[in-house]
Structure 1
C-alpha cells in the first residue's frame, strides 16, 4: 500500500500540481488540513481515494480528526492545532496512545517531522505552500508492506 501524505497546501495549486505525478502513483492520499478544498482538487487530478480533515484555516463542516485502519495499521489523522503541536507532541501522543494508533499524521506547524516513539510513528509532511524551519516544500510517501513501513520525504 502506497500512501501520499500532505498538509498545509493553502490553495497553492502551482505547488500542488508539482506533487500530482507522485500522488497519482499512490493507492490512497491523506491530507491533514489547511485547505480542505485542496483535497477535492487533488482527488479530481489523481482519481485516487483521499481521506482529509479540516485545519484551523478551513470552514467546511467536516471532521477535524479521524481514526481509521489501512493495511492493518491504525492511523490517527488530525491537523494538530487542537493538540498544540507547535509546542511539541505530548498532547497528540496521549491521544495516539488512547486510540492505539500505529501512525499519527498531523500538520499545522509547516515543519517536516518524523519520529518513532514507543512504537508509534509520528509524521508531519511539512507544507507544499509555506514551509517553516526548512527551505523546501515537502510531502511524504508512506509504503506499508506486511509489517514494514517505509517513509520517504519528497521535496519540491
Structure 2
C-alpha cells in the first residue's frame, strides 16, 4: 500500500503544507502549482511540483510526467490546458503521455473523474477554495494505491477526511 498526497493552490500558506505532510505522512507528494513559494524552499525536497499562473519567476517546471510506483503521472497546474472550461486539452495530453493519473489545480474546485483510462484529480485549493465545497475551508486529496484498487479520499485543512468525498477505482 502506498499513499500519495495531492495538493494545490496554497497561495503562500506554507504552514498548511508542513502540517499536511506531518499529519498525513504520505509516501509521495504532488503539488499542482500556485504555491507562491520559492522553488528552492526546503518543503519541495522530494516533492513533485509544477508552477502555476501565480508563481511568478518560478523555476519549477510547467509539467511533470514522472513514473511513480509503477504508475505514469501527468502533473500540471492546468491554466495552459483551459481547465476552467473543460478537460479536452488535458485528456489529449494524458493520452499522449499514457498517464494513469492526471493531477491538476487552477480552478480551486475539487474534482475527480475517470475517463479514457485516466483518473483525473483536482485536489481543490487548500487555502482559497471555491464552488460547492468552499465551506470546507480548503481541500487536498490522499490517494491510496493497492494491488486491487485506488482510493481517493479528500481531506480538509485540519487533515480530517471528508466522508462524502471518497472514491474507489478498481483495477487489475
TM-score under structure 2 length normalisation: 0.80
What is aligned with 2:49?
52
Q: Superposition pairs for residues 97-116 of structure 1, below 5 Å? A: 97-116=95-114
Post-superposition, which runs of at least 4 consecutive aligned residues in structure 1 deviate over 4 A? none
Preserved contact between residue 38 and residue 58 of structure 2 (Cα < 8 Å): no
Gaps of 5+ in 1: none
Q: Superposition pairs for residues 3-152 of structure 1, below 5 Å? A: 3-23=4-24, 25-35=25-35, 37=37, 40=41, 42-43=43-44, 49-58=46-55, 59-133=57-131, 134=133, 135-136=135-136, 137-152=138-153
Distance 1:145 1:70 in 2: 13
Structure with larger RCO (C-alpha < 8 A, sep 6+): 1
Name the structure where helix makes up a greater proportion of residues: 1
- SS of the equivalent of 1:87 reads coil
The one-character-per-residue Cα deviations of 1:9-44 (angstroms, maximum 9, x if unpaired) are 101234335423334x11111101001527735347
Aligned pair count? 151
Distance 1:61 1:43 in 2: 12
Preserved contact between residue 12 and residue 36 of structure 2 (Cα < 8 Å): no
What is aligned with 2:166?
none
TM-score under structure 1 length normalisation: 0.88
Distance 1:104 1:119 in 2: 11
Distance 2:143 2:38 in 1: 20
Q: What's the C-alpha RMSD, in Å, of the aligned pairs?
A: 1.8
Distance 1:87 1:34 in 2: 19
Distance 1:90 1:61 in 2: 27
* Worse-superposed segment, 123-132 or 55-64: 55-64
